[in-house]
């Protein structure tokens, strides 16, 4: 962690529009589940606080962070307004850490370049479990909260963009954006 102490749970609630009517998928890695459970709870509670209905939040479990890519791809085909991927990758003695972290980050970035639902990156890549604890509800707040805040902003961004680009009655090209966005 850098010298500057960042609290991941602090956000400007004025920038969040209501979550009412939004459908959100949360893909959760079971590897380091004590940490990912806490990140999930942080995200879930924040969505509920901003009026996303419990029944509109879908949790999708996958074995490890590497499988977040496939989970998010499947979710993108289901018309969610936003998708959050949650994982925790901790530096070990092998180079697995680098391979998994880079693959997940690059692949999730690619999923954000099609015109489907935005995929929010809530994957901790830490040197040790102490750092992960501190970012999942400890000294540095909870990255799940930050991810939920980002998901709400991005889902509403699509709404705003569609308002400006909605097709005229003469020009009814089909949009691939989620129907309720
Ligand atoms: C194999 C592996 C290792 C060594 N470390 C982690 C980790 O710290 N965090 C995590 O989410 N997953 C880890 N995995 C599992 C991989 O993500 C993946 O599930 C397996 O390689 C099977 O594809």
When pLDDT is cut at 50, 70 and 90, the band that residue 125 belongs to is very high
Confirm if 71 and 85 have CB atoms less than 8 A apart.
Answer: yes
The label of the residue with tokens 């889902």 reads 155
Averaged pLDDT, 2-23: 78
Q: Is the pLDDT of residue 94 over 90?
A: no
Averaged pLDDT, 98-122: 96
Taking alpha carbons only, the member of 59, 54, 93, 63 closest to residue 75 is 59
Cα 153 from Cα 149, distance rounded (Å): 6
Ligand 1 atom 8: residue of nearest CA: 89
Residue of higher predicted confidence among 103 and 10: 103
When pLDDT is cut at 50, 70 and 90, the band that residue 9 belongs to is confident
Cα 5 from Cα 141, distance rounded (Å): 10
CA of 133 relative to ligand 1 center, distance in Å: 18
Cα 104 from Cα 107, distance rounded (Å): 5
Q: Strand ranges (DSSP E) for the chain?
A: 24-29, 57-62, 82-90, 119-126, 136-138, 141-142
Ligand 1 atom 21: residue of nearest CA: 66
Q: C-alpha 177: how far from its chain's center? A: 17
Taking alpha carbons only, the member of 123, 124, 178, 136 closest to residue 154 is 178
Q: How many residues in total does the chain contain?
A: 181
Active-site residue identified among 33, 50, 96, 140: 96
Confirm if 61 and 44 have CB atoms less than 8 A apart.
Answer: no
The residues facing 60 across adjacent strands are 27
pLDDT of residue 25: 98
Q: Is the pLDDT of residue 168 over 70?
A: no
CA of 56 relative to ligand 1 center, distance in Å: 29
36 in contact with ligand 1, CB cutoff 6 A: no
Q: Judging by DSSP bridges, how do beta strands 141-142 and 136-138 pair with one another?
A: antiparallel
Give me the chain's average pLDDT, please: 88
Ligand 1 atom 9: residue of nearest CA: 89
Q: What pTM, to 2 d.p., does this model score?
A: 0.88
Q: Judging by DSSP bridges, how do beta strands 119-126 and 82-90 pair with one another?
A: parallel
Among the ranges given (97-111, 129-143, 154-168), the one the predictor scored with the smallest mean pLDDT: 154-168
Token pair recorded at residue 150: 């980002």
Active site annotation includes 96: yes
């Amino acid at each position: 962690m850098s010298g500057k102490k960042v609290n991941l749970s602090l956000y400007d609630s004025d920038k969040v529009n209501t979550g009412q009517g939004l459908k959100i998928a949360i893909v959760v890695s079971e590897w380091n589940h004590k940490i990912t459970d806490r990140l999930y709870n942080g995200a879930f509670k924040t969505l509920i606080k901003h009026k996303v209905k419990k029944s509109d939040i879908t949790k999708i479990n996958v074995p490890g962070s590497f499988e977040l890519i496939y989970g998010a791809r499947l979710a993108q085909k289901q018309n969610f307004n936003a998708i959050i991927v949650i994982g925790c990758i901790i530096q070990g003695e092998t180079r697995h850490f680098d391979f998994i972290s880079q693959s997940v980050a690059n692949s999730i970035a690619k999923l954000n370049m099609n015109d489907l639902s935005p995929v929010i990156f809530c994957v901790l890549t830490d040197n040790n479990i102490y750092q992960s604890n501190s970012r999942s509800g400890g000294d540095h707040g909870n990255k799940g909260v930050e991810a939920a805040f980002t998901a709400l902003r991005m889902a509403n961004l699509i709404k705003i963009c569609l308002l400006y680009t909605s097709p005229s009655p003469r020009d009814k090209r089909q949009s691939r954006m989620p129907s309720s966005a």
